[in-house]
Amino acid sequence: MTFDTIVALATSRGRGAIAIVRLSGPEALAIASALSGGKTFSPRHATLTRLHDRDGQLIDEALVIYFENPKSFTGENVVEFQLHGGDAVAMLAIDELLALGARAAEPGEFSKRAFLNGKIDLTKAEAIASLIDAKSKESARLLARQLTGELKQFVDAQRDELIRILAHSEVMIDYADEELPDDLLEGLASSLKILQAALQKTLDSSRNRDGFFTGYKVAIVGKPNVGKSSLLNALLAYERAIVSEVAGTTRDTVEEFIVLGSHTIKIVDTAGIRESSDAIEAIGIGYSKKMIEESDIILSLFDGSRPLDDDDTAIRSLIDEVSGNKPVITVINKSDLPAEFDIGMLQQDAPVSLSCRGDISPLKARLTDVLDGMSDSSEQILISKRQIAQVEMTLRALSDALAPLMRGELEIFSFHINEAIASLSAISRPYEHDQMLDEMFGNFCLGK
């Protein structure tokens, strides 16, 4: 396969000590050399050189590294320019590289080439894409393991087992005229069930794990005026949301990232929930419900300086009804005021009592514990919707295969096993399907 030569900024935009511009393709070396006044570069050596534009004006003094194909990320000739930081210098360099014949890369195009040139399989490509957005050390660790091929090995092992089962079935078809011992069919069925269980386990632990990679979402929910916005501000340690003694101050949701231990989480302040005829507030309440559904952890907040009332119990039932089995942490606020609140009837396990005007570290500690518990990185998990869909298809094919096997209809059994093998193989190595590849790599960052 031959490609043109592409260029993109590989580091993120904005202020920074270094900006890296990456060039990949058959003309990479020639173009880099032209930009450097005819300098030649030897593979894997860092060369300090001056870059000039077409008018002879100095762009920057850059460190240039040449990776000769196939020993590069994309498998093509790659040249990386380490420029002084900031967007302006990098944009000047990219302008010149475009003028010299390179083309601006599409998002994910470098990784796509790496895949097409056989440098990475799709599980690695997806791990690279997710690693960029990883919001906890645990998820970064898990993705790093996938970069070494852990998921691919798991998938390959299951596929090899399926191929073994298929081979048995084919042999039995060939000897169809002879009487087949029953235990042969049972042996196949039990191998199949072991495989089903392994895939199902991986699938179960992979569902709803988005937050593990992109940062768990934590919603603060409670009736108006209990101090939800005050709690958000206290967690952020600055006045982000408007706080006032007027109930119904927050009308929209306010979201901010904070770092807790090794986790980056998104804290969401919601509008207070209560029975209300105020149309705007009613919209806010709709948002709150949605936020509970979309969040991974709920902070159920009460005002400790007032007696429990119907609004409190109504909200609590709403949370119980919508949150499913997500962790809910009960927080009783305003502990600096005389206590009037009795949590008794809500039957909570160990609520956290605090004052947003004082020390909120007990809540931070509780949240960190919950997050640690949700971030087990030792399991084998699928990291993309695509991978999950492939495993679901595989499992469907396996369950379709079971009934014909029990009836001894081995041709039909083999047909479904073939389907399962194709679905499973597609996790790391799909049949080259342009549209699917464009879609997948199109979600990558530019320069990757």
List of residues contacting ligand GTP (CB under 6 A): 222, 224-230, 243-245, 247-250, 271-272, 333-334, 336-337, 355-357
Point out the residue whose Cβ comes nearest to ligand GTP: 272
Residue 253 is a binding residue for Mg ion (CB under 5 A): no
Question: Which H or E run contains 417?
Answer: helix 410-425
Give the whole-angstrom CA distance, residue 305 versus residue 26: 71
Closer residue to ligand GTP in complex, CB, 225/264 = 225
Which of the stretches 49-57, 66-74, 228-236, 394-402 binds Mg ion when contact is defined by CB under 5 A? 228-236
3-state secondary structure of 406: helix
Residue 394 is a binding residue for Mg ion (CB under 5 A): no
CA-based nearest residue to 392, from 167, 202, 238: 202
Closer residue to ligand GTP in complex, CB, 103/289 = 289
Residue of 33, 74, 136, 250 that binds Mg ion (CB under 5 A) = 250
Which of the stretches 104-112, 179-187, 246-254, 319-327 binds Mg ion when contact is defined by CB under 5 A? 246-254
Q: Which does 298 bind (CB under 5 to 8 A by kind): ligand GTP, Mg ion, none?
A: none
* Strand 46-52 with 58-67, pairing: antiparallel
Residue 72 is a binding residue for Mg ion (CB under 5 A): no
Give the whole-angstrom CA distance, residue 168 versus residue 120: 32
CB 445 within 8 A of CB 108: yes
The conformation of residue 346, written as its DSSP 8-state character, comes to G
Q: Which does 368 bind (CB under 5 to 8 A by kind): Mg ion, ligand GTP, none?
A: none
Residue 229 is a binding residue for Mg ion (CB under 5 A): yes
Residue 264 CB, nearest approach to ligand GTP (Å):
23
CA-based nearest residue to 59, from 34, 11, 91, 32: 91
Q: Is 302 exposed, middle or buried (0-12, 13-18, 19+ CB in 10 A)?
A: buried
Residue 212 CB, nearest approach to ligand GTP (Å):
29
Q: Which does 333 bind (CB under 5 to 8 A by kind): ligand GTP, Mg ion, none?
A: ligand GTP
Closer residue to ligand GTP in complex, CB, 78/301 = 301
Residue 348 CB, nearest approach to ligand GTP (Å):
19
Query: Is the backbone peptide bond immediately before 70 cis, with ω within 30 degrees of 0?
Result: yes
Residue 77 is a binding residue for Mg ion (CB under 5 A): no
4's tokens = 């043109």
Closer residue to ligand GTP in complex, CB, 222/327 = 222
Give the whole-angstrom CA distance, residue 112 versus residue 205: 28
Q: Which does 230 bind (CB under 5 to 8 A by kind): Mg ion, ligand GTP, none?
A: ligand GTP
Q: Which does 334 bind (CB under 5 to 8 A by kind): ligand GTP, Mg ion, none?
A: ligand GTP
Give the whole-angstrom CA distance, residue 393 versus residue 391: 5
Radius of gyration in angstroms for the set of CA atoms belonging to the chain, rounded to a whole number: 29
Q: Which does 130 bind (CB under 5 to 8 A by kind): Mg ion, ligand GTP, none?
A: none
Closer residue to ligand GTP in complex, CB, 96/269 = 269
Residue 24 is a binding residue for Mg ion (CB under 5 A): no
Closer residue to Mg ion in complex, CB, 5/229 = 229
Q: Which does 224 bind (CB under 5 to 8 A by kind): Mg ion, ligand GTP, none?
A: ligand GTP
By CB under 5 A, the count of residues binding Mg ion is 4
Q: Which does 389 bind (CB under 5 to 8 A by kind): Mg ion, ligand GTP, none?
A: none
Closer residue to ligand GTP in complex, CB, 108/284 = 284
404's tokens = 């014909």
Which of the stretches 78-86, 150-158, 222-230, 371-379 binds Mg ion when contact is defined by CB under 5 A? 222-230
Question: Which H or E run contains 89?
Answer: helix 87-99
Sign of CA dihedral 332, 333, 338, 340: negative
Spacing of C-alpha 2 from chain mean position:
32
Number of H helices, E strands in the chain: 15, 12
Closer residue to ligand GTP in complex, CB, 9/285 = 285
* Strand 263-269 with 217-221, pairing: parallel
DSSP codes of every residue in 434-448: HHHHHHHHHTSPTT-
Q: Which does 123 bind (CB under 5 to 8 A by kind): Mg ion, ligand GTP, none?
A: none
CA-based nearest residue to 346, from 317, 389, 322: 317
Q: Which does 248 bind (CB under 5 to 8 A by kind): ligand GTP, Mg ion, none?
A: ligand GTP
3-state secondary structure of 353: strand
Residue 322 CB, nearest approach to ligand GTP (Å):
18
Q: Which does 12 bind (CB under 5 to 8 A by kind): ligand GTP, Mg ion, none?
A: none
DSSP codes of every residue in 223-247: STTSSHHHHHHHHHTS--S---SST
Task: Catalog residues that contact Mg ion under the rule CB under 5 A.
Answer: 228-229, 249-250
